[in-house]
Amino acid sequence: MSSLTLDIDKSFHGCDQNLELKLASCSNKGLDTVPQNLSGDTEVLQLSHNNITKLLNSSFEVYPLINDLDISFNDIRAIESAVFHPLKGLMCLDLSFNSRLVLPATSVFMMSSQLSILDLSSSNLKSLPDDTLKWSPHLNTAYLCDNHLSFINVSSCGMADAVHMGNNRLKHLTERDFTFVCYTDTLNLFENPIQSVDPDVIASLHVRSLVLGGYPLSDEVLANTILGISKSAIEQLTINDGSVGTFPKGFFDPLRDCSLSVLGLKYNNLTSLHPLVFSNLTTLREFSFSWNKRPIDKIQPDFFDGMNALKVLTINNNRWLFDWLNGPIRLIHKDKTICSSASLEPLREKPLLKFDPNELCLMNNCLFVLIPLASIILVVISVLLYHYRWQLRYKLFLFKLAAVGYYEMRDARDHNDYEFDVNIIFYDDDEDDEEWIREQLRPTLEERLPQFQRNVFGDDDLVLGMHYLDSVDYVVSHSFKTIIVLSRAAVQDRWFILKFRTAMDHVSDTLTEFVVVVFLEDIPDGEMPFLVRLYLSDGRPYIHWTEDVRGQEYFWDKLTTTLTINLRTNDLIPNE
């Protein structure tokens, strides 16, 4: 997938484009206008979470192929009427969460005949132009919820699968305040403080499913709604959380032999049901009155009489059902009254009377205790893991290191790439140190490493014509290997420690382990210089001389191996 990040001036803050998907992402870029220098064939433009305040007629002229436009979470206050006219293929438009949005009085969507999704939610809209939904004959979903709409006048409209007007300020579904002529599958008016309903307005709706509730609905509002539905083609009515307490006798009589086939009454306050109150719902196929906030006191034997078309009954979370099934039951067609396929696994497609509420509905005390206990343990483990996260990560790293190991990084250069092969730094003024160099180190190097002929032994072999420390630095930096011979006498000499520091500085500069320290004797802790301690604490290579013959053989083998290669420093590996 090819992608390109545009390098543009600060007013556009750099939008991200995917040329293959023809997508431009300009979200969270601090924009105050629509950028004009994106790819001309852009089809998806994301402008959310910016500071755009105006949409001009020229804003999208250079992007005629846009089919998905997201301008949500901006501060759009003014929209020119022809701003979307160049976008004849626009299918999805999101203008939600623009808190001061005002739409043009007319024709803003006149050229958007392909529009499928329109989102104007959460924008504090106080009015809706009457031709808002006129120009899109096959609208899938229109989101008009969470605004301040107190009246609706959609007098011209095509078809819309779903129109959501929930959480507005619609109080009156009357001819003066509510005109909606769209052919719609679902009209959602949930969470509107409806106080009055004109039955003729409900009857005029070309809606298959109507959703109400979210606010207390009076008996008059409910009765007029039912009367209107009886004159309409509405097939489904849902009233959720409408504080419905009871239904008077004959309340549903107007619905006899009407088109209503699905009725949902969830999350209400049904406390009692009169005998035969639903008897005239002769066409009802699905009925739900679940999750009532108050228990229904009793169900009469003839409660379902007359509901001959009923196929699905949902009455879960009603206490009366539990008591009813525990008592003596008289059930007509008991073998044909079965639990639906959506029931619990043991009950699916089985007769209702096979259901034992004491077995499936009573609370499992052990489970009730174990759930909070498991939650507490999980919280404690999470806190401990967070508190010791760095120690745990370090232990995990050590385990991985022990199990998998690591690759040694060798320096690609050999001794022929340097001016000197081996540089030996020792304390020249000490007879014991000089004797060890003369009788032990020099003969062994000549025997074991005959290829090393350009060796520098102490100050006598330094480059002539330079200042002393300059010559030391030159030899150290131009040597393949440097051996530093430590003794109690050597660490007391300031000049020797300066040479030691010079070698260590080159190790840090070159990131190469070209220095090896040889201890000729044990040095008490009180005499050990700080630089030597620092060298040892970093895990740098060192060898200890011994008077034991077999130990000396090991010493020379290890020194020979160390002198033939240079490893790159690896600070990720912990010190021994």
Say whether both 10 and 42 belong to one domain. yes
pLDDT of residue 358: 59
More confident residue, 327 or 176: 176
pLDDT tens-digit readout, 138-170: 899 999 999 999 999 998 888 889 999 999 999
- CB–CB of 158/139 below 8 Å? yes
- CB–CB of 79/103 below 8 Å? yes
Say whether both 430 and 536 belong to one domain. yes
Over residues 233-262, mean pLDDT: 85
- CB–CB of 142/166 below 8 Å? no
Closest CA to 574 of 394, 446, 430: 394
Say whether both 427 and 373 belong to one domain. no
pLDDT of residue 421: 92
Block residue for tokens 């509002």: 221
Sheet containing 455-457, strands listed edge to edge, beginning at the edge strand earlier in sequence? 455-457, 420-425, 479-486, 515-519, 542-544
The answer to the question of residue 199 being in a domain is no
Block residue for tokens 């009802």: 284
pLDDT tops 60 at residue 129: yes
The answer to the question of residue 149 being in a domain is no
pLDDT tops 80 at residue 293: no
Band the pLDDT of 272: cuts 50, 70, 90. low
Say whether both 372 and 425 belong to one domain. no
Q: Which two tokens stand for residue 135?
A: 């120009």
Work out the mean pLDDT of the chain and round it to a whole number.
Answer: 84
What sign does the dihedral 291-294-297-303 (CA atoms) show?
Answer: negative
Q: Which two tokens stand for residue 63?
A: 């992007």
Q: Which two tokens stand for residue 20?
A: 């293959």
Judged by DSSP in three states, 161 sits in strand
Bridge partners (DSSP) of residue 23 are: 18, 44
- Give the number of other Cβ atoms within 10 Å of residue 2's Cβ: 8
Domain boundary, last residue among 67, 89, 122: 122
Block residue for tokens 């309903």: 197
Bridge partners (DSSP) of residue 321 are: none
Closest CA to 240 of 216, 258, 259, 261: 216
| Cα separation values, 36 from 26, 32, 66, Å | 12, 12, 13
Say whether both 429 and 557 belong to one domain. yes
Task: Name the CA radius of gyration of the chain, rounded.
Answer: 43
pLDDT tops 80 at residue 216: yes
- CB–CB of 361/344 below 8 Å? no
- Give the number of other Cβ atoms within 10 Å of residue 387's Cβ: 10
Domain boundary, last residue among 379, 404, 429: 404
Over residues 525-529, mean pLDDT: 88
Over residues 280-298, mean pLDDT: 75
Over residues 214-218, mean pLDDT: 88
Q: Are strands 512-513 and 515-519 parallel, antiparallel or unpaired?
A: unpaired
Say whether both 390 and 467 belong to one domain. no
Say whether both 57 and 87 belong to one domain. yes
The answer to the question of residue 8 being in a domain is yes
Band the pLDDT of 6: cuts 50, 70, 90. very low
Q: Which domain, by its residues, includes 390?
A: 366-404
Question: What's at 260, amino acid-wise?
Answer: L
- Give the number of other Cβ atoms within 10 Å of residue 368's Cβ: 9
Closest CA to 563 of 375, 405, 418: 418
| Cα separation values, 334 from 315, 350, 354, 562, Å | 17, 11, 10, 92
The answer to the question of residue 326 being in a domain is no
pLDDT of residue 2: 35
The answer to the question of residue 334 being in a domain is no
pLDDT tops 70 at residue 242: yes
Band the pLDDT of 11: cuts 50, 70, 90. very low
pLDDT of residue 451: 92
346-355 own/partner pairs: CB under 8 Å, 24+ apart: 353/329, 355/325
pLDDT tops 90 at residue 268: no
Domain boundary, last residue among 380, 404, 428: 404
Q: Alpha-carbon distance 104 to 307, whole Å?
A: 50
Per-position b or e across 217-244, b if 16+ CB within 10 A of its CB: beeebbbbbbbbbbebebbbbbbbbbeb
The answer to the question of residue 75 being in a domain is yes
pLDDT tens-digit readout, 410-435: 777 888 889 999 999 999 888 888 89
Q: Which residues in 196-300 belong to E strands, given as ranges?
A: 196-197, 206-213, 236-240, 262-264, 286-288
CATH for 36: 3.80.10.10
More confident residue, 314 or 566: 566
- Give the number of other Cβ atoms within 10 Å of residue 521's Cβ: 14
pLDDT tops 80 at residue 297: no
pLDDT of residue 3: 37
Block residue for tokens 């999350």: 267
pLDDT tens-digit readout, 319-372: 555 555 555 555 556 666 666 666 666 666 667 666 666 565 555 556 667 888
The answer to the question of residue 232 being in a domain is no
Tell me the angle at which helices 468-477 and 494-510 cross, rounded to the nearest 10 degrees.
40
pLDDT tops 50 at residue 498: yes
| Number of domain units in the chain | 3
Say whether both 426 and 536 belong to one domain. yes
pLDDT tops 60 at residue 21: yes
Judged by DSSP in three states, 345 sits in helix
Closest CA to 462 of 430, 489, 502, 511: 502
CA end-to-end distance (rounded Å), the chain:
47
Say whether both 497 and 545 belong to one domain. yes
Say whether both 371 and 441 belong to one domain. no
pLDDT of residue 388: 86
Say whether both 23 and 117 belong to one domain. yes
Question: What's at 360, amino acid-wise?
Answer: L
Judged by DSSP in three states, 153 sits in strand
The answer to the question of residue 297 being in a domain is no
Over residues 433-459, mean pLDDT: 91
Helix (H) or strand (E) holding 247: none
| Cα separation values, 157 from 94, 114, 381, 521, 524, Å | 20, 14, 59, 100, 97
Q: Alpha-carbon distance 202 to 187, whole Å?
A: 11
Judged by DSSP in three states, 379 sits in helix
* Residues above pLDDT 70, as percent of the chain: 83
Q: Alpha-carbon distance 382 to 395, whole Å?
A: 18
Closest CA to 253 of 270, 236, 229: 229
* Residues above pLDDT 90, as percent of the chain: 48
- CB–CB of 301/331 below 8 Å? no
CATH for 529: 3.40.50.10140
pLDDT tens-digit readout, 58-117: 999 999 999 999 999 999 999 999 999 999 999 999 999 999 999 998 889 999 999 999
Say whether both 448 and 396 belong to one domain. no
pLDDT of residue 82: 95
pLDDT tops 70 at residue 496: yes
Band the pLDDT of 406: cuts 50, 70, 90. low
